[in-house]
Amino acid sequence: MPQERSRGSVQASAMPHPPRPDRHLFPTLPRRPIRLVLDGVTHLPNIGTIFRLCDAFRLERLYVCGFEFELHKRRLTRAAAGTLGWVPWEPRPNAAQIVLESRAQGYSIAAVELCEGSVRPEALRSLAPLCLVLGAERHGVSPAVLALADQFIEIPTDGLGGSINLTTAAAIVVYEASRRFPLDAEGAGRQEAPAVPPTR
């Protein structure tokens, strides 16, 4: 016999998902002026999850630096959850190159790294378009990129492990950065069609 709901209790109900953009119009929609650079990240599930993250927040472009991979690999496609074809991206031999290019184009460079002078994600400065750099979990962002960064972002933790994984850190920082560039604000987004990666 079902139990009676107590007085004053609140019944939770699932909210409907917002409508998805039309797939034919999606490549023409404005994007947030945020570039995400992976510096030496080689774990395919992590790369796939970053693709999914870039799609979710409609970032301008993803750069995968210092690692060659094939898009059909199962561990990559499963983590990307159908987003590989919708994210503008390109491979680069090293992260410092795209960071230098971004700086020349007026981007502010933010490295996600615990170091002297690093600040919490909510203190992220965002007066200019943003180039976010994340390094591999073991080695972090390369010294060459750290030397070029305008600001450093850290994510404080209170547990015994003392850290969180790459994709969790990326989600926290990308969410916080995306709040500063709402897509419905005038001039917030840029239109850029997905790049087709070169065949190998």
Name which of 79, 17, 21 is nearest 52 in CA terms: 79
Structural domains in the chain, CATH included, are 32-182 (3.40.1280.10)
Q: Tens of pLDDT along the chain (200 residues)?
A: 555 555 555 566 677 766 777 666 777 788 999 999 999 999 999 999 999 999 999 999 999 999 988 888 999 999 999 899 989 999 999 999 999 999 999 999 999 998 888 999 999 987 789 999 999 988 899 999 999 999 999 998 888 777 789 999 999 999 999 999 988 744 444 434 344 444 33
What does the pLDDT read at residue 71? 84
- Between CA 110 and CA 134 the distance in angstroms is 9
Query: Residues with Cβ < 8 Å from 126, sequence gap 6 or more?
Result: 108, 177, 180, 181
Beta bridge partners of 132: 36, 110
**Model-wide pTM > 0.75:** yes
Q: Are 177 and 34 in contact (CB under 8 A)?
A: yes
